Amino acid sequence: MTGKDILILGTVLFLLAFFLAPNAKGEILGYQDSDGHWHFPGSGIRECARFRPRSSSMSGEEFIQAYQGMIRKASAMFGVESTLINAVIKAESDFDHHAVSRKGAVGLMQLMPGTADEMEVKNPFNPSANILGGTRYLASLLRRFHNDTPMALAAFNAGPTKVEAYGRIPPIRETQDFVGRVLYYYGLFNRRAE
């Protein structure tokens, strides 16, 4: 077995252990099968699109550290785990506060203009404002979807009305990829926090 094979096997085993472990309510969040597909029992989704991380290492370490004070503040203010906030930022912008998507989402947590206005974020390129507004929005989605993290993440990406219309994570590849990507990073950040 090569070093790369061991790393892949270790990642798969870690992800399986993390997602099969019961959460605070004793429910299973989800798991990744041997083909790399995500499954979320109880969320109305049979499988999520395959996700492979771009790199086995976390890039932008200096940026990750630079934003931790604001992430901890947002976590305390809105009751969202700091590791989940980190995972959303990593998946959305890779900690680049200048990031702009094709659809016009901006900043660390990739806020759409309407969402930024709704969350009272005047300058979404400002890291502090973006983290606070994005976390506030994520907290509202977690409440709306009864702390079902995969559903709240799907709503963060596709919009809550679309998720409610389907009653599950929508069969939209971008959204399914996003949920899998965030959950992957969420597992990594939780492991680092231990």
Q: Which residues are catalytic?
A: 92
Give all strands (DSSP E) within 8-144, no chain letters. Answer: 31-32, 38-40, 45-48
Closest to 58 in 3D by CA, of 105, 11, 17, 16: 11
Instruction: Produce one character per residue of 45-72: b if its CB has 16 or more CB atoms within 10 Å, e if not.
Output: bebbbebeeeeeebeeeebbeebeebbe
Q: How many CB atoms lie within 10 A of CB 126?
A: 15
Cα 45 to Cα 38, 150, 159, 175: the distances in Å are: 9, 10, 17, 12
Q: Is 48 helix (H, G, I), strand (E, B) or coil?
A: strand
Residue 161 CA to residue 163 CA, distance in Å, equals 5
CA-CA distances (angstroms) from residue 178 to 68, 72, 118? 22, 23, 22
